[in-house]
Amino acid sequence: MNAPIFISYSSKDRDIAETICKGLEARGLNCWISCRDVRPGDNFQEAIVRALRSAQVMLLVFTSNANNSDEIKKEVVLAGRHRVTVVPVRVEDVAPNDAFSYEFATRQWFDLFKNWEREIEQLATQLRHLVQAEKPQEGTATPPTTLPPRPPAGSSSSRPLIVGSTAAAVLIAIAGTVLYMRHIAPPAPAAPPPPPAQTAAQIPPPAPSPTPPQVASAPAAAPPAPAVTPAPAPPAAAPIATPAPAPAPQAATPAPPPLSPDEAAWQNATAAATPASVGDYLKNFPAGAHLQEAQLRLANLILNAPAAAKNFDGTWQTEWTCPNLGQYPGYTYRFTGQIKDGAYHGLKGVKGEPSSLDLNGKIDADGTAGFFGEIIVGSSLVGLGTARGTESDFHAIAHFTASSGDGKRLEGRPCSLSFVKQ
């Protein structure tokens, strides 16, 4: 499977690259990443070349590992050869070495370690513009628009003669046609009077003749009628009514291919636009093509609906756990949350201060919940290299029973939520 966005990364940064890939695909962008899309039995290098050649953008996940990777340097060279735009994305504050400094001197950088949510949105917007632009064909150049094409070699002397001879023949044919048409055309209304002899024969005698047959048979010059009085032009032939040809049968428009069950279910869910419809899609297609988009939509639909359920009201011990991600260690936050009339609120630390987590959500009567959280990074070591004090927003979904609940973060590092009623 090829895609317009090729993700280039060091094998040591696989977890980070996969997180970026998921974040972009959750925003509707189609990516190719080797750890997922190289099929078993495929030649690894050939698969990379094929995917990069067909891509429009190469997203370079730039870290200290990538800075020292010879394989990534090769991929950058291939991107230039196949006219693929390279977009460097830094996930840690590292300066490029001499080779990459030369390559990226005029390119725009994206820093994902400052504010993940804001930067990933800006990156997704930029990538949408790039993949919508048509990729230039390899080895093609824009033809000149002010000069005609050059004639084939060896034809510069014969071409004018051929053109001149052809033009002369055309002029002679036109002149002959004009003369012939003048010869056979009927006399114009203002034509000169007939010859004198013919006019005299037409003049009647002074007195009527008692014997008209003798006058008609008197020897005279040529009979006057045919030569003197021009025969009236035959009436124009009435146009023959030709029946209009029957319209050609229109080719039947081929019916669109039937939707897959996954796509049909997703269209029904988005048309209904309710938590229940999107929830049904997720239940019936837990690994569907629109999984991440459906999860984000479900969270927002629940958050934007009025809170009304009271069957989960009470105090809930909350635990937020983020696993190790590459070189970045995992961590856990534990704090108390309250649910009142179906609305959840929990706070770890002091709101707005480093190492704090402000979590808010709503729970439907069936236990489906959507959350929106704000983390203030306390340490760049656990914040994927993000500077201390940086704000990072996220969505999460969960499901509650009478005494417990489990959920997960939808963007960024794949963190989990667990709830226990006190």
- Which domains does the chain show, CATH number per domain? 5-132 (3.40.50.10140), 264-296 (no CATH), 314-421 (2.40.160.90)
Indicate the range of 12-26, 46-60, 175-189 predicted with least confidence.
Answer: 175-189
Q: Dump pLDDT digits (tens) for 265-291.
A: 999 998 998 999 999 999 999 888 888
Q: How far is CA 182 from the centre of its chain?
A: 64
Q: Which residue do the tokens 């983390």 mark?
A: 375
Token reading at 348:
């770890």
Whole-number pLDDT of residue 247: 67
Decide if pLDDT at 249 tops 70: no
Q: What pLDDT is attached to residue 406?
A: 96
Is 50 exceeded by the pLDDT of residue 377?
A: yes
pLDDT at 411: 82
Mean pLDDT across the chain, nearest whole number? Answer: 77
For 370, the token pair is 């959507």
**CA neighbor of 405 nearest in space, from 419, 421, 422, 416:** 419
Higher-confidence position of 105 and 224: 105
Q: How confident is the model at residue 244 (pLDDT cuts 50, 70, 90)?
A: low
Which range of 37-41, 206-210, 218-222, 377-381 scores highest in mean pLDDT? It is 37-41
Q: If you search the block for the tokens 């070591």, which residue do you land on?
A: 381
- The pLDDT-based confidence of 106 (bands split at 50, 70, 90) is low
The pLDDT of residue 152: 37
Percent of the chain with pLDDT over 70: 71
